[in-house]
Amino acid sequence: MKKKIKRIGILTGGGDCPGLNAVIRAVAKTAINVYGMQVIGFQDGFSGLVMDKTIPLGYDHVSNILTQGGTILGTSNKDNFFGVKRNESQRVIPGQNRLKDALRIYRKHKLEGLICVGGDGTLTVGYHLHQSGIPVIGVPKTIDNDVMHTDQTFGFDSAVWIATLAVDRLHSTAASHRRVMIVEVMGRSAGWIALHSGMAGGGDIILIPEIPYDLKKVYSVVQKRFQKGRRFSIIVVAEGAHRKGETPIYMKKAHNLGGISAQLAENIEKDTGIECRFTVLGHLQRGGTPTPFDRVLATRYGHHAAHLAAAGEFGHMVSLKNSAIESVHLSLVAGVPRRIPLDFPLLQTARDVGTSFGD
Ligand code: F6P
């Protein structure tokens, strides 16, 4: 007979996103209500685990947090405690490996499992910990939607909603002034936010990292629109998008993408004479309350993660597949970001309704 799991830990890692608190609440409430477990939270991502920063997660602690943005546990997307290659923004401290501390603190708290809520970086570290003796369950989080083997991460829908509102609002001011408006959205090396918000907001051109663009094609689309009497053009550009034969643009801090919309605006104005403005949405896409869809998805994920923990099914990530919640082995998820496949049907849908990808 399987032993009864009595105590689990949970942490949130990587960049925050709307819905993290909904997952924490669902994990804790399910674990407490259904299985009578105790749950503790580690603060500030993996640093809480190696530095022993914990908070109890009793029923009352997780009440009334469903709609709150951010994470009551805190998070970090810069630390690298285990020498595991996470992502381009990690702070690598040579020679540092705090695995022994992590194991000691995990045991000190008499835990029998750890739920790691995060994107591909956190899940990669989670898999490493799992292989090193801490049983882990992963929950896929990120506005970027770039986690493998799940149809959607929570946080993505909320980011798309904010980006779509921005695209909607820019239409009227663009039309008033006969301008090209460029909206730069996040997403790292994946164009999911740009594709979805661009389609939802009726963007005329959507530029994504998966389809390097040709500046001349972009010019031709906006020029033709003005020749046809359209008073504006809207371009939605992913922060990781780049021209054919070039690489993405990074901001001063070498590890953060950003700046493509400013460069594009300058090029369009200079080469076509059409007035251009750009808006960088940045962290607006990460802050604030989750959409209803994300609240429900995060709750389903947290609920399933608690069930997996109770069943002792560690080494898995909860996932969404064709509207059902399933799980997939962490080894399949670790280390590989999910980008938009070039045969993804939505790309053709967008093309068929007249959207250009600048190619
Ligand atoms: O991964 C989420 C994300 O918001 C990316 O879209 C973006 O490139 C990055 O994090 C920004 O990170 P930071 O919080 O370090 O500015």
Tens of pLDDT along 210-248? 999 999 999 999 999 999 999 999 999 999 999 999 999
> How many Å lie between the centroid of ligand 1 and the Cα of residue 32?
33
H or E, element range at 348 = helix 345-352
Q: What mean pLDDT comes out for the span 71-95?
A: 75
37-47: per-residue pLDDT in tens?
A: 999 999 999 99
Confidence of residue 3 (pLDDT cuts 50, 70, 90): confident
For residue 357, CA distances in Å to 178, 257, 311 come to 21, 20, 46
Select from 286, 309, 344 the last residue of a domain: 286
Measured CA to CA, the distance from residue 109 to residue 257 in angstroms comes to 39
Query: In this structure, are 161 and 151 located in the same domain?
Result: no
Among 156, 144, 141, smallest CA distance to 13 is for 141
pTM comes to 0.96
Measured CA to CA, the distance from residue 12 to residue 270 in angstroms comes to 45
For residue 83, CA distances in Å to 16, 75, 79, 87, 128 come to 22, 18, 10, 12, 10
Residue 130: its pLDDT value, please? 97
Query: In this structure, are 43 and 86 located in the same domain?
Result: yes
> How many Å lie between the centroid of ligand 1 and the Cα of residue 69?
16
Query: In this structure, are 98 and 42 located in the same domain?
Result: yes
Query: In this structure, are 170 and 225 located in the same domain?
Result: yes
28: in domain:
yes
354: in domain:
no
Yes or no: say if 201 and 232 are a contact pair by the CB < 8 Å rule. no
Query: In this structure, are 170 and 257 located in the same domain?
Result: yes
Yes or no: say if 220 and 212 are a contact pair by the CB < 8 Å rule. no
Q: Which two tokens stand for residue 338?
A: 């999910």
Residue 112 reports pLDDT greater than 60: yes
Which residues neighbour 77 within 8 Å (Cβ) at sequence distance 6 or greater? 13, 14, 15, 45, 87, 89, 121
**Top mutation candidate among 75, 88, 89, 237 for ligand 1, by most atoms within 8 Å of CB:** 89
Q: Which two tokens stand for residue 76?
A: 């970090």
Confidence of residue 84 (pLDDT cuts 50, 70, 90): confident
Atom of ligand 1 nearest to the CA of 186: 6
Residue 93: its pLDDT value, please? 56
Query: In this structure, are 28 and 151 located in the same domain?
Result: yes
> How many Å lie between the centroid of ligand 1 and the Cα of residue 290?
17
Select from 226, 255, 286 the last residue of a domain: 286
Which has the higher per-residue pLDDT, 97 or 265? 265
Query: In this structure, are 191 and 203 located in the same domain?
Result: yes
Residue 157: its pLDDT value, please? 98
Confidence of residue 63 (pLDDT cuts 50, 70, 90): very high
Confidence of residue 86 (pLDDT cuts 50, 70, 90): low
Which of 16, 144, 204, 294 is the catalytic position? 144
Name the one residue in this structure whose structure tokens are 């819905």.
Answer: 19
Measured CA to CA, the distance from residue 338 to residue 204 in angstroms comes to 25
108: in domain:
yes
Query: In this structure, are 149 and 170 located in the same domain?
Result: no
Query: In this structure, are 239 and 179 located in the same domain?
Result: yes
Provide the mean pLDDT of the chain.
Answer: 95
Tell me how many domains the chain contains: 2
Query: In this structure, are 137 and 268 located in the same domain?
Result: no
Residue 95: its pLDDT value, please? 58
Query: In this structure, are 259 and 317 located in the same domain?
Result: no
185-218: per-residue pLDDT in tens?
A: 999 999 999 999 999 999 999 999 999 999 999 9
258: left (phi over 0), alpha (psi -120 to 50) or beta: left
Domain, as residue range, for 241: 157-286
Residue 334: its pLDDT value, please? 87
| Residues whose beta carbon lies within 6 Å of some atom of ligand 1 | 15, 77, 89, 119, 142-144, 186-188, 239, 256-257, 286
Percent residues over pLDDT 90 in the chain: 91
- Measuring from atom 8 of ligand 1, which residue has the nearest CA? 188
CATH code for the domain of 119: 3.40.50.450
Indicate if 144 belongs to the active site: yes
